[in-house]
Structure 1
Amino acid sequence: MKELKIDKIEGFTPQIGHLVSQMNYVRKTTLEAVRDLTTYELDFLPSKDGNSIGALLYHMAAVEKGFQIEIFDGRSPNEQEMAEWGAPYSLGEKGREDIKGYSLEFYISKLEEVRSRTLQKFANLNDDWLYENRLWDNHPSNNYFIWFHVFEDEINHRGQIRMIRKMLSRNV
């Protein structure tokens, strides 16, 4: 029987470990939702204004990358970062044009690359850091809420992915 717990994780302070355990579970379920998808399935658009599963996966990585730049690096994305991450961050028409033709391994690699840096940074922070106040999107916030938002955004898009996958099974 598998354990489903939010718990301490070795290498992290207690509260950061709780956050990481939640992020790990969300990522596990996201990867289960996209298991074995083909490039065709990853590129499928559910509607003319919709996003593909591939675009949503890339977006998940881009959101986390954006917060890494903002929170860990204390700056806005530079021109090179915008060239790589702008379309997946914003999605829309640019995302529909630019994000296609990639394998599942490409998207998983992007997700892992970004998450690896997050975990490296978290390992060097303490629980007090989570509660540091900051302004985010013109609202009083703290680091805990911002990183909660990273995986909350992933949960929302995972729901979209599951719906698109059901649409695909009807269209095959």
Structure 2
Amino acid sequence: MKTLGKLLALFIVSITIHAQNMIGPQEGFTPQIGTMVSMLNDLSNRVEYTVKDLNTEELDFLMDDKANRIGSLIMHLAATEAFYQVYTFENREFNKEEKEQWQVAMGLGDEAREEYQGLDVNYYLDIYKAVREKTIALLKEKDDAWFASVPKGYSMNNHWAWFHVMEHQSSHLGQILLIKKRLPEN
């Protein structure tokens, strides 16, 4: 019986390891949306894993006066995803309050370099995760017909918009990894 238990435990670990490296439909979503959710979640897991152990000094590190801080980049990822939430789910752009909340993070640059420093990693990750949780909840309410649709007045379908969010996060994850490699040795 102990051997059967050990084999079952190894099998479960094997499935878990295999499943985390799989892209495809997810339970609770239509096939195309579920596949996108698996890709979005893979990227967010990699962003979180990459930054989770960074201290404030590392999050605030600035390679030069044109570079972005890692903290600013995490906020930028959250802001961009929040924008695509209203853009695709509500067919609008940010309202006044949303612009005030997200515009510095959306634009990066000097303002973001000034605003996003002195904060710990949980500050950034809590915001980043909250935005993703909302995205997942909203995507659960949609189907593949919505995903393929082109909202009136737009030149892209919803699938492309969320593909863009995914590839945007991938691009900035590359920046984060580069900055992380350039962190001064302590």
TM over 0.5: yes
Q: Per-residue deviation at 1:76?
A: 2.1
AA of the residue aligned to 1:53: I
Identity of aligned residues (%): 36
Higher CA-based Rg: 2
Q: Aligned equivalents of 1:30 and 1:84: distance in 2? A: 22
Q: Pick which of 74-83 and 151-160 moved more.
A: 74-83
Alpha-carbon distance in 1 for matches of 2:85, 2:45: 21
Query: 2:78 is matched with which residue?
Result: 61
CA distance in 1, matches of 2:116, 2:100: 13
CA shift at 1:171, angstroms?
4.2
3-state SS in 1 of match to 2:68: coil
**DSSP 3-state at the match of 1:161:** helix
Aligned pair partner of 2:173 in 141, 150, 158 = 158
CA contact (8 A) 2:66 2:109 kept: yes
The corresponding residue for 1:108 is: 125
Determine the structure 2 residue equivalent to 1:37. 54
1:143 lines up with 2:152 in the alignment: no
1:11 Cα deviation from its structure 2 partner? 0.9
Structure 2 counterpart of 1:131: 148
* Aligned partner letter, 2:177: R
Deviation track 1:147-170 (CA, whole Å, cap 9, x = no partner) reads: 0110111111110111101100x4
Specify the code of the residue in structure 1 equivalent to 2:107: S
Give the counterpart letter for 2:156 in structure 1: S
Separation of aligned partners in 2, 1:155 and 1:105:
21
Whole-Å separation in 2 of the counterparts to 1:101 and 1:86: 19
Query: Retained in 1: the 8 A contact 2:61–2:69?
Result: yes
Instruction: State the TM-score, normalizing by the size of structure 1.
Output: 0.92
Aligned length: 168
Secondary structure at 1:76's aligned position in 2? Answer: coil
Which structure 1 residue ranges, 4+ long, deviate > 6 Å from structure 2?
A: none
Q: What stretches of structure 1 of length at least 5 have no aligned partner?
A: none
Cα shift readout 1:96-120 (whole Å, capped 9, x = no counterpart): 1211111100111111111111111
Whether the 8 Å CA contact 2:88–2:161 is kept in 1: the answer is no
SS of 1:37 mapped into structure 2: coil
Amino acid at match of 1:157: H
